[in-house]
């Protein structure tokens, strides 16, 4: 038994998988056939589906993320379906939800919410669960991403229908109380430096924000004056090194920054904006 664990641990280590012990435990638990959690000290071969485990570890050593192997990624309070057509929801993006709740504490209000570049639908769906009376529109240029978002909506918020729209940023001009977005914001150089598992298994279209990474902020800044009223608030994720430049882009369109928020690693991660 010890040999089985050691052999597979070495396999992960040899492929430079970060945190190999943790990943091995996750793979064992994902292929478990028992109710209790598997830990190394009490591991028995009969506690896993060996065929499923072997298939999963074979995919993992080819750089495929565990989330894509099992088509599942946790975000906020829920497990979301993911595949190669959407970006995995990141823990730092939960900051968007936290800040919306801070600025809009009355959850029973009939708010109009727009989620631009929705991807897996994680922001729109999480917000629909917090704001049960909200009218939510979620847009994405990728029809394949929207199929994933719809799967998640069907599973997680049947009672609060979200309108998914296949378009570039927005289709129809309307005003919204809350606008959230986690747009693509990597520059060409940053994208080239990302891990192979990102380049191979996550959609480039959801990561690349043009040569300098700022393309979508410019496009969204051009759009916002038409869809904001005086009380609307925008929550938009940024790259850790983009704060000043992105604030400047919005300032030119008479949109002020209410807050530049840091993530758990104390890196700039979110701008909260409002019309001047």
My answer on whether 203 and 164 are in the same domain is: yes
The rounded distance, in Å, linking the Cα atoms of 272 and 95 is: 11
My answer on whether 27 and 111 are in the same domain is: no
Please say which residue of 13, 42, 62 terminates a domain: 62
My answer on whether 85 and 148 are in the same domain is: yes
My answer on whether 184 and 56 are in the same domain is: no
My answer on whether 141 and 97 are in the same domain is: yes
Domain membership of residue 67 (yes or no) is no
My answer on whether 31 and 92 are in the same domain is: no
The total of structural domains in the chain comes to 2
* DSSP result, 156-183: H-TTS-EEEEESSS-SS---EEEEEE--
- The tokens for 88 are 């995995």
pLDDT tens digits, one per residue of 84-116:
999 999 999 999 999 999 999 999 999 999 999
* H-type alpha helices, the chain: 2-14, 20-30, 50-60, 66-70, 94-103, 122-130, 143-156, 188-192, 196-201, 215-227, 243-251
Please say which residue of 62, 81, 101 terminates a domain: 62
My answer on whether 94 and 221 are in the same domain is: yes
Share of the chain above pLDDT 70, in %: 99
Q: What is the pLDDT of residue 9?
A: 95
My answer on whether 106 and 155 are in the same domain is: yes
CB 99 within 8 A of CB 74: no
Q: What is the pLDDT of residue 161?
A: 82
My answer on whether 241 and 136 are in the same domain is: yes
My answer on whether 154 and 206 are in the same domain is: yes
CATH of the domain at 161: 3.40.50.150
The rounded distance, in Å, linking the Cα atoms of 207 and 191 is: 8
Mean pLDDT, residues 146-175: 92
pLDDT tens digits, one per residue of 24-71:
999 999 999 999 999 999 899 999 999 999 999 999 999 999 999 999
- pTM for this structure? 0.94
pLDDT tens digits, one per residue of 219-235:
999 999 999 999 999 99
Domain membership of residue 48 (yes or no) is yes
My answer on whether 135 and 48 are in the same domain is: no
My answer on whether 235 and 123 are in the same domain is: yes
Q: What is the pLDDT of residue 1?
A: 57
pLDDT(2) > 80: no
Closest CA to 138 of 110, 109, 167: 167
E strand or H helix that includes residue 92: none
Domain membership of residue 36 (yes or no) is yes
Domain ranges, residue 110: 72-275
């Amino acid at each position: 038994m010890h040999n089985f664990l050691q052999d597979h641990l070495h396999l992960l280590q040899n492929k430079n998988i970060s945190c190999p012990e943790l990943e091995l435990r996750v793979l064992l638990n994902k292929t478990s056939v028992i109710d209790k959690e598997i830990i190394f000290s009490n591991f028995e071969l009969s506690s896993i589906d060996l065929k499923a485990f072997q298939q999963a570890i074979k995919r993992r050593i080819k750089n495929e993320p565990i989330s894509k192997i099992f088509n599942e990624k946790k975000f906020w309070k829920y497990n979301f379906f993911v595949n190669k057509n959407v970006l995995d929801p990141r823990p730092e993006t939960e900051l968007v939800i936290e800040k919306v709740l801070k600025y809009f504490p009355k959850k029973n209000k009939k708010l109009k919410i727009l989620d631009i570049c929705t991807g897996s639908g994680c922001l729109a769906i999480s917000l629909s669960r917090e704001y049960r009376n909200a009218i939510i529109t979620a847009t994405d240029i990728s029809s394949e991403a929207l199929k994933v978002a719809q799967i998640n909506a069907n599973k997680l918020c049947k009672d609060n229908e979200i309108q998914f729209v296949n378009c570039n940023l927005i289709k129809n001009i309307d005003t919204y109380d809350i606008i959230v977005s986690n747009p693509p914001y990597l520059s060409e150089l940053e994208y080239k430096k990302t891990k192979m598992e990102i380049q191979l298994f996550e959609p480039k279209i959801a990561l690349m924000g043009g040569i300098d990474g700022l393309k979508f902020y410019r496009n969204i800044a051009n759009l916002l004056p038409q869809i904001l009223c005086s009380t609307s608030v925008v929550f938009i994720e940024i790259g850790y090194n983009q704060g000043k430049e992105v604030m400047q882009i919005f300032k030119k369109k008479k949109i002020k920054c209410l807050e530049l928020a840091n993530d758990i690693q104390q890196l700039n991660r979110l701008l909260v904006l409002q019309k001047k």
